[in-house]
Amino acid sequence: MNYGKKQLIQKAAIARKQIGIDDEAYMILLKRRYQVDSSTKLNIKQLHDLIHNVYICEMGWKPQPAKIKNPTPTQKKGKGYQGEFVEISDKDPLAKQKRYALILAKKLGWNLYGLDSRCKKQFGVERFVWIREQAHMQTLLKDMQQRCNKRGIDYSTN
């Protein structure tokens, strides 16, 4: 992955914090190795060297994911949804079909993230609720009904 200088400085700062290098030791490291007193004075090649050779190879740093204090349900499960809830506007011309698709997804044991993945792969739409073409909606519903048939699931809304 290609990082810009700003991102490399941020990554170096995160690594330094996770390793636990104090200010004095950091200044000595920068002076000895790069003859500078701040990471902002390093060029991109030097920043790569600092992160890869010093932090990772010499000090054994392994990037750790950020810890979120008191995560919301969205942060626990991913972005965009509060658990398994999604709002479909009555103004959406495909609202009835989308609600029916959600019923079928529930009967099939699918979650919203799986439905989104399916729509992204099949129709190039990031989210299920963003489907705007009638043909896409009909294709999705027909397939879901066939899957219900194969599993012996009643797909009527009664």
Q: Is the entire prediction scored with pTM above 0.75?
A: no
Pick the more confident residue, 136 or 81: 136
Strand partners, 82: 85
CA distance 20 to 145: 56
Q: Is the CB of residue 32 less than 8 Å from the CB of residue 38?
A: no
Mean local confidence (pLDDT), 7-29: 87
CA distance 111 to 115: 6
Evaluate if residue 62 carries a pLDDT over 70.
Answer: yes
Lowest-pLDDT choice from 1-5, 45-49, 52-56, 77-81: 77-81
What is the model's pLDDT at position 140?
Answer: 94
Evaluate if residue 80 carries a pLDDT over 90.
Answer: no
What is the model's pLDDT at position 133?
Answer: 92
Q: Is the CB of residue 100 less than 8 Å from the CB of residue 157?
A: yes
Evaluate if residue 76 carries a pLDDT over 60.
Answer: no
* First-to-final CA distance of the chain: 52
Backbone angles phi and psi of 85, in degrees to 5? -105, 135
